Structure 1
């Protein structure tokens, strides 16, 4: 059997807000709350479960995406007013070109960083 990451818990200051912000970045809707979690289904294999019971903590979640998904996430980051940039903890409003593709880091107000990139560096 191969190993597939099925779900992970994302510590958030406000589980509903962070789930909504992330879901908007990837163009889906958050799922219905399940116990203490607000799930966001990333694809057939992965769900991020947003949980605010212990408060928010900075985190980093990286996603290899196609060009259309990259463009959609970047456009949503621009429209939403979220901080974004070419490197972690940078808000230079630029993308990088590591590995011959495009990459960007988008941060929600709780300090959670989402990295979207189109080629593996």
Structure 2
């Protein structure tokens, strides 16, 4: 068996709200609570388990996505006036995308201060 990242614990002020934010962003369902966690299954191997028992320390979570997923996420971002997103750390939340490495990318700030990065592979 190869090494597979199975889950990450994501600290949140409100685990249900934080899980719902990411699930809505990515077009995924929120899974049923599991113990103290509210999981969002990103793919067959990885779940992000949202937990509100501890202090929030903002983190950075990067997702390699296909073009269709990127377009769907970008569409949801453009429809929302309340979600901060942008082309990268050097440009703030400028509501633009980047073309680093020849693909497309965007950074999204969640209500807990986490930064979600979504990017496509180079064509």
TM norm structure 2? 0.92
Indicate yes or no: 2:83 matched with 1:82: yes
Residue by residue over 1:50-72, the C-alpha shift from the partner in whole angstroms, topping out at 9 and shown as x without a partner, is: 00100322110000000110111
Matched, 1:98 2:97: no
Structure 1: gaps of 5 or more residues: none
Q: Does structure 1 residue 61 correspond to structure 2 residue 61?
A: yes
Contact 1:40 1:49 in 2 (8 A): yes
Unpaired runs of 5+ residues, structure 2, are none
Q: 1:113 aligns with which of 109, 112, 115?
A: 115
In 2: Cα distance, 1:78 partner to 1:56 partner: 27
> Counterpart in 2 of 1:48?
48
- How many positions carry a matched residue from both structures? 120
Q: Partners in 2 of 1:111 and 1:105 — Cα distance? A: 12
Question: Match of 1:29, SS?
Answer: coil
- CA–CA separation in structure 2 for the residues paired with 1:113 and 1:47: 17
Q: What's the CA shift for 1:73?
A: 1.3
Root mean square deviation, CA, Å: 1.3
- What is the rounded CA distance, in whole Å, between the counterparts of 1:114 and 1:98 in structure 2? 16
User: Normalised by the size of structure 1, how large is the TM-score?
Assistant: 0.93
**In structure 2, the residue corresponding to 1:35 is in which secondary structure?**
coil
1:12-47, Cα deviation, whole Å (9 max, x unpaired): 111111100000111111011111100000000100
